[in-house]
Structure 1
Amino acid sequence: MWTIADYQNGPFTVTTDRRRVQLERVVYFLARSYWANGRSRETIVKSLDHSLCFSLFHGERQIGMARVITDGATFAYLCDVFIDEAYRGQGLGKWLLSCVLAHPGVAAVRKVMLATKDAHGLYEQFGFTAPGEPEWLMERIQEPRTE
C-alpha cells in the first residue's frame, strides 16, 4: 500500500520495507515490553501485516521498531516503539520518531495518537500532548474472537 521509504544515519537505517522485519527479534522485544508481553507470535505477525512498520537496523541487525496504524488521510496511531537496550542513549529513538513523523502516510494526517506509560518526555519533544478533550475519548477492552 505504501511506497517503501529508507532513511540513513551513518551505520543506521530505518526502512518501511516489511520484508526486512526480523520477526524473531521483534517477537523477542515485544515479549519483554510492558505493553505487549502477552501477545502471541500469531497476533504480532497479524499486527505487522496490517501496519506501516518502521524497522531500525544497525547494519543487518534489527535494533528497533515503530509501528503505525493509519489510513494515511485522517488518523494515525503510533505503537510498539522500541530500541534495543544496548543502543539506547544514542538518539536513535528520536531519529526513529523523526522518520515516522516525516513519512507521507503519517505526515499527511491531522491526528496522531499514542499511548505510553513512561516516555512522555520523549514524545513531548515531538509535539505530543495529553488529549485536549479527554472526555471525547473512549475505549473498549475486549477479549479478541478467534476464527
Structure 2
Amino acid sequence: MITRRADGYEIDTDPDRLDIDLMHNWLSTDAFWALGRSREVVEQSARASLNFGLYDAHGAQVAYARVVTDLTTLAWLCDVYVDRDHRGSGLGTWLAAAVRDHLAPYKLKRVLLSTLDAHSVYAKVGFVPFPDPEKLMIMGAVQ
C-alpha cells in the first residue's frame, strides 16, 4: 500500500492485487480509448507498466491507472479508470495525485497524458496543456 484515505480507500502498486478481469471489463466496454481491447492486451500492458490499483475498504478494486516509464526521464500516465459506482468522491484526483507523488523522487523530465474530458481532474494535481503541441507527433492509428 502506498496511501490510504480516512474513508478506507487505499492505493497500492502491488501488481498481485490487480483484478485483470475487472480491468479488462472496464477498459474494453466503458473506456472510449480502449473499447474492444483484448484481455491479453490488458494483462500484457499491466505487466509492462507501473500499476496503481485503488481499492475500497473491503479490498475490492474500484479504480486503476498505469504508468509507462523508464523511471529516469519520461512517464506516460494512461488507462486511468474509476468504476462508475465510485465516481464523484474525488478518487480520480486522488489517484492522479498518488501517481504524481510516487513519481516525484525520480525527477522525471516529463510526465505526459492524453485526456478528452478530464482536464480539470489532472489540472488539480499539476498537469497543464502541452506548451507546443505542434512539436508532438504520432505513429499509428489515432483513436
Fold equivalence (TM over 0.5) = yes
Instruction: Check 1:6–1:67 CA distance in 2 against 1; reply closer, same or farther (3 A cut).
Output: same
Which segments of 5 or more consecutive residues in structure 2 lack a partner in the other structure? Answer: none
The residue number in structure 2 matching 1:39 is 37
Structure 1 segments of 4+ aligned residues over 6 angstroms from their partners:
none
Q: Provide the TM-score with structure 2 as the length reference.
A: 0.90
Offset of residue 94 of structure 1: 1.2
Amino acid at match of 1:82: Y
Matched residues, number:
138
Give the alignment of 1:90-105 within 5 angstroms.
90-104=89-103
What is the CA–CA distance in structure 2 between the aligned matches of 1:115 and 1:52, rounded to whole Å?
17
Instruction: Check 1:111–1:73 CA distance in 2 against 1; reply closer, same or farther (3 A cut).
Output: same
Instruction: Check 1:141–1:111 CA distance in 2 against 1; reply closer, same or farther (3 A cut).
Output: same
Amino acid at match of 1:133: D
Instruction: Check 1:106–1:65 CA distance in 2 against 1; reply closer, same or farther (3 A cut).
Output: farther
The residue number in structure 2 matching 1:9 is 5
Residue identity over aligned pairs, in percent, reads: 37
What is the CA–CA distance in structure 1 between the aligned matches of 2:105 and 2:84, rounded to whole Å?
26
Amino acid at match of 1:76: A
Greater shift in the superposed pair: 63-72 or 129-138: 129-138
Which segments of 5 or more consecutive residues in structure 1 lack a partner in the other structure? Answer: 143-147
Offset of residue 60 of structure 1: 1.5
Contact in 1 for aligned 2:72/2:106 (Cα 8 Å): no
Q: Provide the TM-score with structure 1 as the length reference.
A: 0.88
Amino acid at match of 1:6: I
Paired residue for 1:29, among 26, 30, 47? 26
Offset of residue 127 of structure 1: 2.0
The residue number in structure 1 matching 2:15 is 18
What is the CA–CA distance in structure 2 between the aligned matches of 1:107 and 1:130, rounded to whole Å?
22
Paired residue for 1:53, among 45, 51, 54? 51
What is the CA–CA distance in structure 2 between the aligned matches of 1:133 and 1:27, rounded to whole Å?
34
Instruction: Check 1:26–1:72 CA distance in 2 against 1; reply closer, same or farther (3 A cut).
Output: same
Q: Secondary structure at the match of 2:79?
A: strand
Greater shift in the superposed pair: 103-112 or 66-75: 103-112
